[in-house]
Amino acid sequence: MTMLDSLKTRAVNAVTQDNRLIADVSLEFGISRRKLFAWLKESDKKSINKVVSRQNKSTSPALLKSQIKTLQTEVTLLKDELKQYQITERLIDGRIILDFNKNKGSNQPLQKAG
């Protein structure tokens, strides 16, 4: 099995067996929603109808607005917490390394929002 076949199988299974959203899986695996949808269609035409109806139900405008508002709040909280740090970046072996050095006079620990 090639790496592409393995990626395809894992992505399709994440949607069909784990009941995850196409948008979430496509982001996680770094593939377009169209490509994932094509893989789903190719893998099983019966399950694609079930997945599409689940996707449509879960993306109501009210739910999306609520999720956006929650994310905006979390981003604001994280920005406020990050202000207490001096952030520097280094490139090592093709990877970006971020260093967080606490500013003087700031005693609050960095906490995950949510």
pLDDT at position 52: 59
If asked whether residues 44 and 74 sit together in one domain, one would say no
Query: Per-residue DSSP letters for 1-63?
Result: --HHHHHHHHHHHHHHTS---HHHHHHHHT--HHHHHHHHHHH-HHHHHHHHHHHHHHT-HHH
Q: Does 102 score more than 50 pLDDT?
A: yes
* Residue 16 placed within a domain: yes
β-pairing, 85-92 vs 95-102, is antiparallel
If asked whether residues 53 and 70 sit together in one domain, one would say no
Instruction: Place 16 in a pLDDT band, splitting at 50, 70 and 90.
Output: confident
Q: Does 114 score more than 50 pLDDT?
A: no
Given a contact cutoff of 8 angstroms between Cβ atoms, the answer to whether 51 and 24 are in contact is: no
Q: What is the pTM of this model?
A: 0.42
* Residue 92 placed within a domain: yes
27-31, 64-68, 107-111: least confident range: 107-111
If asked whether residues 97 and 66 sit together in one domain, one would say yes
If asked whether residues 11 and 41 sit together in one domain, one would say yes
If asked whether residues 17 and 50 sit together in one domain, one would say yes
| AA identity, residue 43 | S
Q: Which two tokens stand for residue 18?
A: 């784990």
* Residue 84, domain extent: 61-102
* Residue 109 placed within a domain: no
Among 42, 37, 40, 31, CA closest to 4:
31
If asked whether residues 43 and 79 sit together in one domain, one would say no
